[in-house]
Structures are given as structure tokens and as C-alpha cells.
Amino acid sequence: MINDKINFYFMKKSILIIGACGQIGTELTLKLREINGKNSVIAADIREGNEELMQSGPFESINALDYHSILSVIEKYAITEVYLMAAMLSATGEKFPDKAWELNMNSLFNVLNLAKEGKIKKVFWPSSIAVFGPTTPKENTPQETIMEPSTVYGISKQAGERWCEYYFNKYGVDVRSLRYPGIISWKTNPGGGTTDYAVEIYHNALLLGKYDSFLNKGTKLPMMYMDDAIDATIKIMDAKPEDIKIRSSYNLAAMSFTPEEIAEEIRTFIPEFEISYHSDFRQNIADSWPRSIDDSRAREDWGWKHKFDLKKMSKNMLNSLHAKYEEL
């Protein structure tokens, strides 16, 4: 028994990523495979991912709501850490509130309970700026503040944060979490989020030279380039447990911009680019979220630093997407 425990603690890191085929999951899996070796990082999702992901290492078909299928993969590969990246985002969540609540909450309970039962040692679970609501201070939103989220997604993330902290305090579960802003990337498309316009705009700029934005002029939201999001995720998971002083979820930030500011930046590369505005139901969601985030706790506690601002990100996005479209 003691030997088993010692083995468990000194065992090589073996990682399971649930939701590995999504926007963040794909790039997280690729990066973790680069760092830890492809056979130490198991990708799992309900559907298969893109070719690069599927060819980069082992894949298991898992429904995040099925505790026993997660457990059998954990046992098969002697998994020590789980990153739970499966979730229904804000815009889709408003169309399917019951499903969003079920997926976002029960997948988390499955993983937290596996950690509580000692089957895994560490958990990463993403939260979001959606935990904030219309009554939250909008500029430089503090770590601790009023949180009255108005979307199903936001309610599920806020409840999830409470449960993470509860499992840490009550059962000693080593769970770590970040409140991601809108994540911008070129490898895999986002799906069903309110911040997705800031990805679509780059594709449309290259393919059509114009973009019709579903968020109005002046809608400023916190955003981050994928490289920074992956860096932050790996950094918080590598931090010493005593440096993780917040067990609900850390505010995390890099930049904030409006649709017209991103359009202006795109025009420095594509001068004829045009933007128009026709907002839909996502405008209400965006209006309920912060405009900028104070992430000083992440910077102080475990040394978070972002690398990409709007200019650097736009250059990288347009170059990468251009190369991708040339290949097709």
C-alpha cells in the first residue's frame, strides 16, 4: 500500500486532455506532447480532431459526462493529471441552457471526484471572464468582486469555481484554474463563443477583404492570443502547490480591444479592409462582461507574463492564416 502510494507520487507525469479537439484543447495537446513526449499525453474527445492532432499521439473517444469511460482511460494509461477542456460556451449555452449546465457541471464533478478518490493527482479546469456580470466593475475588474453572471455559461463557470475551491479545502484536491478571456487562434476555430468575432474577422479579412461584425462598435472585451493562453495554462500547472494561493480561479489578461480597433490594426496589413456592424443576441452577453481585467494576482503568485499585444497577435494571425490558406 505504502509502496503503491510512493510509486504514484514519483510516477512519470501522464496527462489526459478531455476536450482535446476543441479550440484550446488542440493546441494544448500539441504543446504538452512537445514537452512531455507524445505517449505521455492522451487526447480524448467525443469526436475526432484535425489531422495534426490525430497524428500527433494517442487518442481515446470519451464522453466527458461518462465517469466510467474516463476512469477506464485513466487506469489504462496510469494518468496522473487531467485537463478538462470540454465545455459549451456562452452563445451556444443560451440556445441549449439545460445541456450547457449538464455538460459544464457534470464533467467537472466527474473529474473532481476522480481526484478526490485519489485516481489522479492534479486537475486543470478553465473558468472564464463570463463569471462576471452586469453589476461587476467593468474596468480593471479585480480578482475578488461582485459576480452576478447572466448567462448559463457564466453561471456554470461561477458554480464550478466554488466547487473547485470546495474540493481543495475539503478534500485537498489539487485543482488549478484560470479565468480565460476571449482566446484568439488560427489552428482550430472556436465554437459558440461571444468573443469568436475576433477570430472570424481575420479569416474574412484575408478571404473577402471585409467583415460584418456581430458585436457593435465600442464593445471592448478582454482577449488573449492562444500562445499566451497555452503558456499560462502550463505555467499554473507547473507552479509549486504553495504558490497557488487562489483555488477558485485566477483572473488572467493580456489585452483589450473593440471591433474597430482590431479592424484598424488589420488595415495596417490589408489597407482596403472594411468592417460593418450588425449586432445580434451576443451583444447582450458582451455588454454584461468586463472591458478589462486586473490579473495582478496571477503575476505575483506564479509569475504570469503575457507576450502578445494586438499588434503582435495580428501580424502572427494574418501570416499564419495566409500560409494555411496557401496550402489548401
Q: Minimal CA–CA distance to 229: which of 181, 300, 292, 164?
A: 181
Residue 91 CB, shortest distance to ligand SER, in Å, is: 6
- Asked if residues 261 and 310 have their Cβ atoms less than 8 Å apart, the reply is yes
Q: Which residue of 14, 26, 56, 90 would you call a contact of ligand SER, by CB under 6 A? A: 90
Helices (H), 172-327: 197-207, 226-238, 259-267, 282-287, 296-302, 310-327
Kindly determine how many residues on this chain lie close enough to bind ligand SER according to the rule CB under 6 A.
11
Nearest-10 crossing angle of helices 197-207, 259-267: 30
Residue 218 CB, shortest distance to ligand SER, in Å, is: 18
Of residues 140-159, those binding ligand SER (CB under 6 A): 153
Closest CB to ligand SER among 57 and 193?
193
By three-state DSSP, how is residue 305 classified? coil
Closest CB to ligand SER among 25 and 182?
182
Closest CB to ligand SER among 59 and 257?
257
Residue 190 CB, shortest distance to ligand SER, in Å, is: 7
Instruction: Report d(CA 165, CA 248) in Å as an integer.
Output: 5
| Catalytic choice (83, 153, 180, 202) | 153
Q: Specify whether 153 is catalytic.
A: yes
The stretch among 40-48, 55-63, 128-136, 297-305 that binds ligand SER (CB under 6 A) is 128-136
Closest CB to ligand SER among 129 and 275?
129
Reading the block at residue 243, the C-alpha cell is 504558490
Max Cα-Cα span within the chain:
69
Q: Which residue of 17, 62, 73, 130 would you call a contact of ligand SER, by CB under 6 A? A: 130
The stretch among 58-66, 123-131, 140-148, 227-235 that binds ligand SER (CB under 6 A) is 123-131
Of residues 179-198, those binding ligand SER (CB under 6 A): 180, 182, 193-195
Residue 151 CB, shortest distance to ligand SER, in Å, is: 8
Residue 69 CB, shortest distance to ligand SER, in Å, is: 26
Residue 241 CB, shortest distance to ligand SER, in Å, is: 26
Return the exposure string of 197-215: e unless at least 16 CB atoms fall within 10 Å of the residue's CB, then b.
bbbebbbbbbeeeebebbb
- Asked if residues 158 and 145 have their Cβ atoms less than 8 Å apart, the reply is no
Q: Which residue of 107, 128, 177, 249 would you call a contact of ligand SER, by CB under 6 A? A: 128
Reading the block at residue 157, the C-alpha cell is 463557470
Instruction: Report d(CA 45, CA 31) in Å as an integer.
Output: 17
DSSP code per residue over 102-171: HHHHHHHHHHHHHHHTTS-SEEE--EEGGG--TTS--SSB-SSS-----SHHHHHHHHHHHHHHHHHHHH
Q: Which residue of 24, 41, 86, 89 would you call a contact of ligand SER, by CB under 6 A? A: 89
Binding site for ligand SER (CB under 6 A): 89-90, 128-130, 153, 180, 182, 193-195
Residues identified as active-site:
153
